[in-house]
Chains A and B, each alone.
Chain A
Amino acid sequence: MGPFFAGPNSLIAEYEVDLATIEGLENVSAKQIKEVKVNSIKLNLANEEELDLSDIYSASLQIVSGNTEMQSIAIKNPIESKGNELVMDVSSEVDLSEYLKGKQFSLVLDLDFAEDSFAEQIGAIIDLELTVKHK
């Protein structure tokens, strides 16, 4: 998909929701979920050879699904870390319950590149830690 130009570039992942595969939610059904808050989000760039965090001004993360509106859930601006891993600042207001109750959602990560990158592909791993209230 590269090269990537300086400025905002988007990465996307579609996630098939299967509560049974999420540690801690194995025995919770969608109907039981009342509220889902984000505790922390960790971002890992997967292209350590071509790109690291010093090449990126900022990162923001959104969530969206077919039935729900897009919401911003985390931001890191400016990025002062080097290497490949950072902890993002998370929204305390957003409730992800409707996304986890659905079948699928997408995460959209916007990375603001300081310069053009000639990487052929860019990947990232997002680790989410959630607090779930349920019946």
Chain B
Amino acid sequence: MKKILLASIFSIILVATGFAQDSEEADRLIGVWEPSHGKAKVKVDKIGEKYYGKIVWLKTPNDPETGKPKVDKNNPDEKLRSTPLRGYRILKDFVYTDEDEWTEGTIYDPENGNTYSCTIKMTDENTLDIRGYIGVSALGRTDIWKRLKMPSKK
């Protein structure tokens, strides 16, 4: 027999903190990256043992229709469509395997509201092959992302 109950409120305390322990080889993914279209910059962080990338910069931060900061208006969940795109995690749940590859993650395309399976391959320290696909990896598209470097001090 199914029962339904309203669980009383429970509280969780959150703080700003360092995200996770270091793992030198896997943590090379951490940093700020720019997709080939140049319309956004994505910062990769680690939460637990997985890697996540959120939009930290948009070439066009405001929606031309509203004049307000862009929101995730194509989110399949109507209740979440007011989520700002700046700060949105478009890369989720990546796990480092080996040989410069992070797998088991997803990439979200805010322009159509679709989420794709995704693998990340680091071809050199400053270049990523980001492959989004549906079903099998052969049916997909690869984009090249470049690491943003801090200007060197003179």
Which A residues contact B (CB, under 8 angstroms)? 1-2, 4, 7-13, 15, 21-25, 28, 34, 39, 42, 46, 57-58, 60, 62, 64-66, 69-70, 72, 75, 77, 89-94, 106-110, 112, 121-135
- How close is A41's CB to chain B, nearest CB, in angstroms? 10
**Dominant secondary structure at the A interface:** strand
Q: Which of B8, B45, B48 contacts A129 (CB 8 A)?
A: B8
**Dominant secondary structure at the B interface:** strand
B55 to A, closest residue via Cβ? A8
Which B residues contact A (CB, under 8 angstroms)? 1-19, 45, 47-50, 52, 54, 56, 69, 71, 77, 79-80, 82-84, 86-87, 89, 92-93, 106
In addition to A12-B14, A21-B10, A75-B83, 17 A-B residue pairs with Cβ atoms within 8 Å of each other are A8-B54, A10-B16, A46-B13, A57-B84, A66-B48, A70-B92, A89-B82, A112-B87, A125-B12, A125-B13, A126-B11, A126-B14, A128-B10, A129-B7, A130-B7, A131-B4, A135-B2
- How close is A75's CB to chain B, nearest CB, in angstroms? 5
Contact partners of B80 in chain A: CB under 8 A: 72, 75, 89, 91
